[in-house]
Amino acid sequence: MGQNEKGLEVKSEASLTTNIKISPKQEVAFAAECADALMEVISKKPRKVVINGKQYLEFEDWQTIARFYQCTVGIDWVKPLTSENINGKKVFGGYEARAQVLNKDGLAISAAEANCTISEPKWKTRDRFQIKSMAQTRACAKALRNVFSWVVVMKGFAPTPVEEMDEYYNPTPAYTSPEPKEDFIEGLENDQKNGQDVIEAEPEKSKARERMEQGLNGSAFKHTCPVCSKPHNGQYPKCLECYKASKK
């Protein structure tokens, strides 16, 4: 027994179900009963998550196990992740969250931290609220996994929350525009007016913009001028001299 960084008392797993000491056999028997009940619940789900032949649990499945032990999970804090670009400007990179599992007496018995970042292919173009939400989901699932993984493996489930797996399929459509949304920009302006710390994401360059920049650098476009027939590198068919002459 001890205390965590916020001064909350942390008890061992033996006190999860009751304050009365029970034998190891009774503990295992109760865990097996919980695992059977979870298997029955998951068998009725229309979409089960199987990766490389192994079945994984989603966050709500971990919550089900926690309810059997009269436990719950909640978020302790959420923080933005930032980095500096070459200009020294803060750039938004994602969110990090910390979650705690509480027993029926409100005492913390587990905690975990997790993040969700735009460096992940599936989250690179998502809205910030979606990234923030997933960071919290991962932290909660991981905190529950720290306590109850020994229970779920009794039925052959993978002990890792599926939200941590790269292969996990998330059907929510992604926002794919290379430019920031107007409401996102408006939100940043409102944060600035309110004196809040603003972390701005840099928009991706479109392919057309990249081609134009390459052309201006003389590395991508090769043309023969239709006026003077001279070969040249540039964005437009005419060479620079003929283009200027046509504007006079």
Q: Tell me the average pLDDT across 78-91.
A: 87
Domain housing 229: 207-247
Residues 230 and 114 in one domain: no
State the DSSP H helix or E strand holding residue 75, giving kind and residue range, or none if neither. Answer: strand 72-84
Per-residue model confidence as pLDDT tens digits over 184-222: 444 444 544 454 444 444 444 445 455 444 544 444 456
- Note whether residue 15 is domain-resident: yes
Instruction: Determine the Cα–Cα distance for residues 95 and 136; give it in Å rounded to an integer.
Output: 9
Give me the helix-helix angle, 24-43 and 128-152, nearest 10°.
130
Pair 112, 23 in one domain: yes
The CATH number of whichever domain residue 145 belongs to comes to 3.30.390
Of 164, 179, 197, the position where a domain reaches its end is 164
| DSSP label of 201 | P
Q: What is the mean pLDDT of the chain?
A: 76
Helix (H) or strand (E) holding 98: strand 90-102
Residue 30 counted as domain residue: yes
Residue 99 and residue 221 share a domain: no
DSSP state of 172: S
Hunting for tokens 């920009």 — which residue is that? 185
pLDDT at 77: 96
- Residue 225: pLDDT band (50, 70, 90) is confident
Q: Looking at per-residue confidence, does 206 or 135 come out higher? A: 135
Instruction: Look at phi and psi of residue 113 and say left if phi exceeds 0, alpha if psi is from -120 to 50, else beta.
Output: beta
CA contacts within 13 A on the Cβ side of 73: 31
The answer as to whether 202 is a domain residue is no
Would residue 52 count as lying in a domain?
yes
Cα dihedral 142/143/144/145 (nearest 10): 50
Burial (CB < 10 A; 0-12, 13-18, 19+), residue 156, is exposed
First to last CA, the chain: 86
CA distance 183 to 186: 5
Of the two residues 72 and 201, the one the predictor is more confident about is 72
**pLDDT by residue (tens digit) across 108-127?**
999 999 999 999 988 988 99
Question: What is the phi/psi pair of residue 212, to 5°?
Answer: -65, -45
- Alpha-carbon span 228 to 236, nearest angstrom: 14
Task: Tell me the two tokens of residue 84.
Answer: 């500096």
**pLDDT at residue 223, as a whole number:** 64
Entry pTM: 0.61
Query: Is residue 145 assigned to a domain?
Result: yes
pLDDT digits (tens, 9 = 90+) for 34-45: 999 999 999 998
For residues 132 and 217, membership in a common domain is answered with: no
- Last-in-domain residue among 105, 138, 164: 164
**Cβ-based neighbours of 247, under 8 Å, separated by 6 or more:** none
Residues 156 and 38 both lie in one domain: yes
H-helix or E-strand spanning residue 191: helix 182-193
